[in-house]
Amino acid sequence: MTKSQKTANDKAWEILFERHKILEEVEKNGFFEIASGQINQERESRLMAKFDHSVNLPDIFRDNHLSILPISRSKYVIGKFATHLKVEYDSETELTPFEFPAEIESIDYKNLYSESSALHCAFNIGIIDDLVGEKTAYTVSGKMSTESFDFNIINSIANEPYSIKVENSQCEIDAGFESENYFVLIESKKYLIEDFLIRQLYYPYRLWSKKITKKVIPVLMTYSNDIFSFFIYEFSNDKDYNSLQLITQKNYTIAPEEIQRSDVDRVFNNIKVIEEQKVPLPQANKFERIVYLLSLLLERDLTTDDITENYKFDRRQTDYYTNAGLYIGLIEKDKSSIRKKPIFRLTSEARSILHKRHKFKYLDLINKILEKKVFYLVFELTLKHGEIPPEDAICKIISENRPDINDTTIKRRYSTVRGWISWIWNQIPD
């Protein structure tokens, strides 16, 4: 990665690692403690020490198998710690529909574009009660002190435990729900994830396990593509950070209007095909990640650093998926930023689409894909044969309609075309 491609966090941490000889100290002692004041000399510690997903870790951390945890309000520890847990979505999990109460007007369930709005919605329509199996009360949220506790964490290289003591660090709870027998702690994400920082559940879990007598249940919730996914965990050993085990996954949705084959046929038959532009055919295989990026931009405009440092994109993925949004005309780039970094924002058309009900939002997104000639022609074959065409057929369509793309690049772009067509095909019920 060139210097110009590095994020602000990358650059600041490289300076700190050199200044404090952090790699040498970790090799010698197994860890290095650093004060927030020392971090603040380069960049605010709150921006430098919270990595919700492993992909957000600065290069120097990833290259050396390092991670960082807070141990007080003013100190952190760096070591070869296994801090994140992989998340796997079970495609066989049943999707439970919930009706939205007609009497609730202050929640717009079509536009749950923040974690808090998704949580409030899930609670107020009864999803949390169903999740727990008991009537719940919404009792806790926000930042609080962890008080003091100690725990073991696995060294990710040596696979040996390392002991850490926390003294009045700060933790944040997205939501706590109490029922007759349980206290449910929920960490929420408004997007699909590949892993998450266990600390976001472990520190609140240790705090509340001491404060109340009821069983504390740690839960991860993700909200994406109009589906609430809940991962119910338990810590098999309270003093073992890495003892988090998945018990079950539950999926919910707000009784959507299903997209029918006839809906997609109607969109396809009314498409006004746009000839392929000179802009590059994107390399972004998962269209659901474009939907996720659009939802982030609905809240606020973002730079590449904002996207890379705060969400589940590395630098290369940020480039791929912002370019994909530009390609379909739903994202625009403003290069006149006073920060001298381009800012990405939604087009007015994208904002209009994202504020529609689920069915019509997705039909409009399908339209935006299929108005591109390559995708239109591939989907035409898909409809004709009832399945996505083989690789050679897709590559032939790309070659005939994008003479600017060489044979090697066509092979890479094939996976994007197939991925987007597969996304459309999956919207149609069997």
- Residue that is last in its domain, among 55, 80, 105: 80
- Asked whether residue 1 carries a pLDDT value surpassing 50, the answer given is no
Does residue 124 share a domain with residue 74? no
Structurally, the chain folds into a number of domains equal to 3
What does the pLDDT look like over 216-240, one tens digit per residue?
A: 999 999 998 789 999 999 999 999 9
What does the pLDDT look like over 123-174, one tens digit per residue?
A: 999 999 999 999 999 999 999 999 999 999 999 888 889 999 999 999 999 9
- Residue that is last in its domain, among 80, 105, 136: 80
Does residue 379 share a domain with residue 272? yes
Q: Concatenate the DSSP letters of all residues of 6-28 into one string.
A: S-HHHHHHHHHHHHHTHHHHHHH
The encoded tokens of residue 43 equal 């960049």
Residue 252's closest CA among 222, 232, 220, 291? 222
Beta carbons of 32 and 340 less than 8 angstroms apart? no
Residue-number span of the structural domain to which 73 is assigned: 3-80
Does residue 232 share a domain with residue 182? yes
Q: How many CB atoms lie within 10 A of CB 319?
A: 17
Does residue 127 share a domain with residue 72? no
Does residue 226 share a domain with residue 98? yes
The encoded tokens of residue 262 equal 């006839």
Does residue 242 share a domain with residue 267? no
Q: Please work out, in degrees rounded to the nearest 5, the angle formed at the alpha carbon of residue 290 by the alpha carbons of 328 and 366.
A: 55
SS3 call for 212: coil
Does residue 76 share a domain with residue 98? no
Does residue 121 share a domain with residue 19? no
Residue 306's closest CA among 11, 31, 47? 47
Question: Whole-number mean pLDDT of the chain?
Answer: 92
Range with lowest mean pLDDT among 57-61, 278-282, 317-321, 411-415: 278-282
What does the pLDDT look like over 13-39, one tens digit per residue?
A: 999 999 999 999 999 999 999 999 999
Residue 197's closest CA among 301, 57, 313, 302? 57
The enclosing domain of 314 has a CATH number of 1.10.10
The pairing of strands 170-178 and 148-154 is: unpaired
How confident is the model at residue 164, as a pLDDT?
A: 97
Does residue 313 share a domain with residue 231? no
- Residue that is last in its domain, among 45, 80, 115: 80
